[in-house]
């Protein structure tokens, strides 16, 4: 994996030592979990393992290495580049996005201001979810997304951890570069959580194509409007819509002539219809294609591709 060293470097020196000795295949690694004074867990190809201090894979919690709280604090110093104040807003939401689009979930003692979360102190549990760039995972989907007038407005519906961001990223790359006899399109990506492009200092670390403009770490609704106004994208891509403002911004972008490529949490079209905010989008046939994913043996397994009327295309 190209950023193996970058990933290892977010950990404290001792944890790094254990992970290095464990000789993990980072292409297959999905999660690393640290909890204060509890064993270190790794999830590899869907299987969970505990690690001993020598890096051996264990199943017995007694033999596993217990992560000292000091190591978690040191890891946080490294993750935050000794500057946690710079990540205050992200921490308030319970996660940090690292270079490469990997997401580090945190939990600990929450400090409140009124009834709002002000900060998380005494961080004691960390969960690193690795983002995997799967080049070509959109190959089987893309042919269904081209209609008579160009790219269809598409909604990708997927439960969590089924690879919707991975699929979206690959579709963006292919649409931006141009493929299957279609010319490249200018794609505007609003990457609120920096997961799609994995930007570092504004520059995408993942391959998102040669005609892609990225608004990194920007709230979706605001970012979509900024994109439409400033970069005149032909295709607008956003991940995990849900709020009322997101939907209003999508409608505006639609009227501006942008093609939409959007993902949402859900398991089926009926599931989306049951959500009050999203139901209107389906009823008004705002989207021309629905790509529905499920949790299969590999990332981005397609259950169905439907057209605007709900007719099964694949």
Q: Name the site residues for another protein (rule: CB under 8 A).
A: 9, 12-13, 74, 77-78, 80-86, 88, 118-119, 201
Q: In what order do the strands lie in the sheet with 95-97?
A: 57-58, 47-51, 41-44, 29-35, 116-129, 103-113, 95-97
- Give least dist CB 269 to another protein, A: 41
C-beta of 69 vs 256, nearer to another protein: 69
For another protein, give the closer residue by CB, 28 or 74.
Answer: 74
Task: Select from 14, 129, 33 the least CA-distant residue to 74.
Answer: 14
Give the residue with the Cβ less far from another protein, 7 or 235. 7
Q: Smallest distance, Å, CB 200 to another protein?
A: 11
The distance of closest approach from Cβ of residue 17 to another protein in the complex, given in angstroms and rounded to an integer, is: 13
CA distance 71 to 126: 11
Nearer to another protein, 79 or 236 (CB): 79
Phi, psi torsion values for 159, nearest 5 degrees: -70, 165
Q: Which is nearer to another protein, 112 or 283 (CB)?
A: 112
b/e code 131-149 from CB counts within 10 Å (16+ = b): bbbeeebbeebbebbbeee
> Shortest Cβ distance from residue 85 to another protein (Å)?
5
Q: How far is the CB of 78 from another protein (least distance, A)?
A: 5
Please state the φ and ψ torsions of residue 295, each to the nearest 5 degrees: -85, 85
Tell me how far, at minimum, the Cβ of 67 lies from another protein, in Å: 14
Closer residue to another protein in complex, CB, 199/235? 199
Do 293 and 159 touch, CB atoms closer than 8 A?
yes
Residue with tokens 């999830």: 43
Q: Which residues pair with 99 in a beta bridge?
A: none
Neighbouring CB atoms inside 10 A of 45's CB total 10
């Amino acid at each position: 994996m190209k950023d193996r060293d970058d990933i290892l470097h977010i950990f404290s020196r001792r944890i790094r030592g254990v992970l290095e000795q464990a000789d993990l295949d980072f292409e297959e690694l999905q999660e690393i979990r640290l909890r204060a004074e509890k064993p270190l867990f790794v999830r590899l190809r869907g299987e969970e393992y505990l690690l001993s201090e020598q890096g051996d894979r264990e199943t017995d919690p007694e033999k596993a290495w217990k992560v000292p709280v000091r190591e978690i604090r040191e890891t946080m110093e490294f993750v935050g580049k000794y500057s946690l104040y710079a990540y205050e807003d992200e921490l308030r939401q319970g996660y940090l996005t690292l270079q490469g689009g990997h997401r580090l979930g945190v939990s600990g003692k929450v400090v409140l201001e009124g009834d709002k979360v002000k900060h998380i102190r005494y961080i004691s549990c960390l969960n690193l979810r690795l983002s995997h760039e799967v080049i070509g995972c959109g190959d089987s989907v893309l042919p269904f997304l081209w209609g008579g007038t160009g790219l269809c407005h598409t909604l990708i519906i997927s439960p969590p951890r089924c690879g919707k961001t991975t699929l979206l990223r690959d579709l963006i790359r292919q649409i931006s570069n141009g493929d299957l006899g279609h010319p490249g399109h200018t794609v505007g990506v609003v990457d609120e959580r920096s997961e799609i492009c994995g930007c570092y200092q504004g520059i995408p670390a993942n391959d998102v194509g040669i005609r892609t403009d990225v608004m990194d770490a920007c709230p979706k609704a605001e970012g979509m409007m900024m994109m439409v106004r400033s970069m005149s994208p032909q295709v607008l891509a956003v991940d995990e819509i849900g709020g009322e403002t997101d939907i209003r911004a999508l409608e505006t972008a639609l009227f501006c002539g942008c093609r939409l490529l959007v993902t949402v949490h859900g398991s089926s079209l009926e599931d989306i219809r049951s959500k009050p905010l999203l139901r209107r989008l389906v009823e008004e046939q705002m989207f021309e294609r629905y790509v529905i994913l499920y949790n299969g043996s590999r990332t981005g397994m397609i259950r169905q591709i439907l057209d605007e009327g709900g007719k099964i295309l694949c």
